Structure 1
Amino acid sequence: MKTIFTFALSLSLFTVTYSQDKKTEAVKIEELPTVVISQVKKYIPDNNPDAVVRTTQNEFLLYKVDDECKNFDQYLVTLESRKGALQATFDEKGVLVSVSEKYTNVELPREVSKSVYMSYPLWTIVKSKFEYSQQKGEILTKVYHLKLKKDNKTQIVMVSSSGDIITETKDIAMN
């Protein structure tokens, strides 16, 4: 009886430890699909890692256009957060015409950080700005403006959301 009990106990411990040893799979980050809230509101949210940016975009997704906008040629909606703002323009029928978003000191996507640190070793990112705009459901701008610093020099770099460096300015002496 003692042997059976010992065997059952060791078998149960083996199965518990075996079940904890699973291989983890890499999580794929995919581009977010267009969100059509209604036939008049077509908005493509950005897959931004910053929680404040995502919260502002989610609040906009929940925004309902009221009947008051039908009295005007254009209707402007502004959502502000501590890091920036989202401005959306609707026409007289309540159709979303354009969206413009600007945020400062945002958390950068992994691709952007990696690209900058590979292209500019020993430089430090001291300031970041994110611009995102779209018109009639088409993305026009989706870039990060980064201020880099190394010793007494600074440099401004514009990077796409995929990590491609678009433009850069020459070194500027810090005052």
Structure 2
Amino acid sequence: MRTIITFALCLSLFSASYSQDKKTEAVKIEELPEVVVSQIKKDFAKYIPDNNADAVVRITQNEFLLYKVDDECGNFDKYLVTLESRKGSLVATYNEKGVLIGVSEKYENVELPREVINSVYLSYPEWIITKSKFEYSQEKGQVLKKAYLLKLKKDNKTQKLLVSSKGEIIKTTKALVMK
């Protein structure tokens, strides 16, 4: 019995000392470039991907960048391309020439960027983020909306925040929930 306890104690000390030896490296964040989705004569559209922290959102956006407009869809004035993931969807609108008109993205329970987390926890200490939604839309290459809708909770109070991707709190709404 002593041998087992001694072995367990040595193993726990070894694993604790080993975990402290690992060095953490700073993650370098780079802005993604604008990507031209289609180009026909003088008409062209660009999609400006978001530098989102959530891997599912990035994968959905990368799949959209790989999407090629089909020539057989020229019979309609406009058509939609929808990509769905387990966290949300990306909907793109094209005109009859295959030129990108607009993109709308909505995702739920996304991983938040560091700027957003820091801003919220500095402005609302002791509050807990319970839900997050990310909305992103652009039209003709211009970003119209790029924000996070967050639901915070503290004791029996809830608060909703609209936060920009840079961490600026745009709008707040207070709602008191009784238990």
Shorter-normalised TM range: 0.7 to 0.9
Bigger drift between 87-96 and 68-77 goes to 68-77
Tell me the amino acid that sits aligned with residue 103 of structure 1.
Answer: Y
Question: Please, which of 105, 110, 115 is the counterpart of residue 106 of structure 1?
Answer: 110
Task: Write the deviation string for residues 110-131 of structure 1: whole angstroms up to 9, x where unpaired.
Answer: 0000000000000000000000
Normalising by the residue count of structure 2, what TM-score does the alignment of the two structures yield? 0.80
CA RMSD of aligned residues (A): 1.7
Q: Distance in 2 between matches of 1:151 and 1:72?
A: 53
Q: Percent identity?
A: 75
Shift of 1:66: 0.3
Q: Which residue of 1 aligns with 2:101?
A: 97
Q: Distance in 1 between matches of 2:148 and 2:82?
A: 21
Instruction: Flag the structure with larger Rg.
Output: 1
5+ long unaligned stretches in structure 1: 1-23
* 2:160 paired with 1:173: no
Q: Which residue of 2 aligns with 1:36?
A: 36
How is 1:17-166 mapped onto 2 (pairs within 5 angstroms)? 27-39=27-39, 40-166=44-170
Residue 64 of structure 2 contacts residue 83 of structure 2 at CA under 8 Å; is this kept in 1?
yes
Residue 160 of structure 1 contacts residue 166 of structure 1 at CA under 8 Å; is this kept in 2?
yes
Question: Which contiguous aligned blocks of 4+ residues in structure 1 show a shift greater than 4 angstroms?
Answer: 24-28
Task: Write the deviation string for residues 13-39 of structure 1: whole angstroms up to 9, x where unpaired.
Answer: xxxxxxxxxxx9855423222111432
Residue 53 of structure 1 contacts residue 103 of structure 1 at CA under 8 Å; is this kept in 2?
yes
Structure 1 residues 72 and 105, CA gap change in structure 2 (3 angstroms): same
Normalising by the residue count of structure 1, what TM-score does the alignment of the two structures yield? 0.82
